[in-house]
Structure 1
Amino acid sequence: MKRKQLFEFEDQRWFPAFLRNYLSDFLQFISNQFDIYKKVTPLLAELVAKSENKTIIDLASGGGGGLFKLSKRLREEDPELKIVLTDYYPNLKAFEYIRKQDQTFTFERESVDARKVPAHLKGVRTQFLSLHHFTEEDAVQILQNAVDSQSPIALFESQERNVPSVLAMLFSPINVLLMTPFIKPFSVGRIFFTYILPLVPLFVMLDGILSALRTYTIPEMDELISRVNGHENFEWKVGRQKSGPAGILYLIGAPKP
């Protein structure tokens, strides 16, 4: 199945911010409720351990990414760990809620572009379920910016470009309907646009299908790395980690000693 650089509704500037936030809230809830990134904890813990700066800069965090559940295990390895949430379209209500639940987290209020991370944000860079949003050129820029700033980087995708991933998204509206009452912070608007005017289930399904069709394969990730100037100065790991019925694709890079 050839990769297609299709657009997702939530990426568009015209897409209502409140709907974008409802979608990212749902993805954050699923990621942490089912702990889907549990199996990659050792990979991320190793990267943080090798870094002088015990801070994770999470890019394209959406509603908080997959780090809320992971953070507890990571802090067992390093109690001083700090995590900064960022996004091009910051979901501030979600960020503030996570901050109240866990003081490990802080966040950036201003928009942060993963292709050009501000110099003051120093640490291990992560992205969860977001690399597929970027074109090949933009994905190379993300890696290039990490190499140029000597910043370790770990990118994780919880889906693959295959038929099972697409089929799974066809049934995602059922999950939205079942789980929306448990998503916090509670929102009357989320209830309305899930059960009365069901735009949230619709766009979760549509963007989910489009996401699967945009996801990079392992060979394609290797190709992205090869296009980065100075990539030979980093140590790279690209692979797939089994996680429940699915797998987590990962691309990890760190400066050579």
Structure 2
Amino acid sequence: MKRIHAFEFEDLHWFPKNLRNYMTDFLQFGSNTFDIYKSVIPILDKGVKSTGNNKIIDIASGGGGGLIKLAEHLKKNNPTLKITLSDYYPNIDAFKRTKSKMPDMFDFIDYPVDAMNVPSELKGFRTQFISLHHFKPENAKAIFQNAIDTNQPIGVFEPQQRNIKSMIPMLLSPITVILMTPFIRPFKLGRILFTYLIPILPLFILWDGVVSVLRTYTVPELKEMISELNNSNNFDWEIEVKKGKPSEILYVLGLPKEN
């Protein structure tokens, strides 16, 4: 399946903020409900241990809620871990809700953070969940290059691959949206309105879901991308697909080599 970098509504700067937030709320609700990243906990632990400061700097966090379940797992073996949420379009209300659930663990940045040029003061294990596919190849390379240039470990995780197996759930997503929406909190009248009475949210999520599969990089593409970076040999790299339920997780882990 050839990679196609079509547009996603979430990426459009003019796209209404409330609709973007409803869409990220849905993704985060699904992530937590089905605990889709549970299989990569050991990989996250490895990344955190490499930082020296026990911090995760999450990039392109959306609303941040998708990390709550992960945080619960990570806290068992690392109760002092700190997670900072950030995004180019920060959803401050959602960040605050996430922080309120685990205030000793979460914090957030209230200004736009560019994944390709992360502020130097944000030091820690950089993570990205279901977001790398939003970036064109040259921009995805810039994300990894920035991590190398600043000597910060990075982990990128995608719960889909560019294949038919991943496409099927996306094609069925309107049904999933309709079934799951009543359980998403906090309750938003607009979410109900645009799901059932004016059903544009299921269509937007269907489009973005299908396009996200078409945009997702393969393991060989990611390996080639990493090989083209300046000083990539200063890092140890893992680029694999982690088997697990309910999702197989495609991931890239880059850790600075010890001097």
Same fold (TM over 0.5): yes
Q: Deviations over 1:3-50 (max 9, x none)?
A: 111111110111111101100010011011100000000011111122
Range with greater deviation from structure 2 (1-10 or 58-67) = 58-67
State the SS of the aligned residue for 1:2: coil
Query: Counterpart of 1:94 in structure 2: which amino acid?
Result: A
TM-score relative to the length of structure 1: 0.98
Matched, 1:162 2:138: no
Corresponding residue number in structure 2 for 1:180: 181
Corresponding residue number in structure 1 for 2:75: 75
Distance 1:65 1:255, change over 3 A: farther
**Offset, 1:232:** 0.2
Please say if residues 39 and 243 of structure 1, whose CA atoms lie closer than 8 Å, have aligned partners that are also in contact: yes
Corresponding residue number in structure 1 for 2:138: 137
Corresponding residue number in structure 1 for 2:10: 10
CA distance in structure 2 between the partners assigned to 1:168 and 1:201 by the alignment: 13
Range with greater deviation from structure 2 (193-202 or 211-220) = 193-202
Corresponding residue number in structure 2 for 1:121: 122
State the SS of the aligned residue for 1:246: coil
Please say if residues 60 and 130 of structure 1, whose CA atoms lie closer than 8 Å, have aligned partners that are also in contact: yes
Alignment of 1:85-104 (within 5 A): 85-103=85-103, 104=105
Range with greater deviation from structure 2 (45-54 or 35-44) = 45-54
**Offset, 1:62:** 0.8
Matched, 1:250 2:251: yes
Query: Counterpart of 1:54 in structure 2: which amino acid?
Result: N
Corresponding residue number in structure 1 for 2:233: 232
Please say if residues 125 and 153 of structure 2, whose CA atoms lie closer than 8 Å, have aligned partners that are also in contact: yes
**Offset, 1:181:** 1.3
Please say if residues 27 and 63 of structure 1, whose CA atoms lie closer than 8 Å, have aligned partners that are also in contact: no
Moved over 6 A (4+): none
Corresponding residue number in structure 2 for 1:32: 32
State the SS of the aligned residue for 1:80: coil
In structure 2, the gaps of 5 or more residues are none
Query: Counterpart of 1:150 in structure 2: which amino acid?
Result: N
State the SS of the aligned residue for 2:248: strand
CA distance in structure 1 between the partners assigned to 2:172 and 2:7 by the alignment: 21
CA distance in structure 2 between the partners assigned to 1:48 and 1:73 by the alignment: 13
CA distance in structure 2 between the partners assigned to 1:201 and 1:112 by the alignment: 28
Range with greater deviation from structure 2 (211-220 or 59-68) = 59-68
Root-mean-square deviation over aligned CA pairs: 1.0
**Offset, 1:246:** 3.4
**Offset, 1:72:** 1.4
Aligned residue pair count: 257
Corresponding residue number in structure 2 for 1:42: 42
State the SS of the aligned residue for 1:66: helix
TM-score relative to the length of structure 2: 0.97
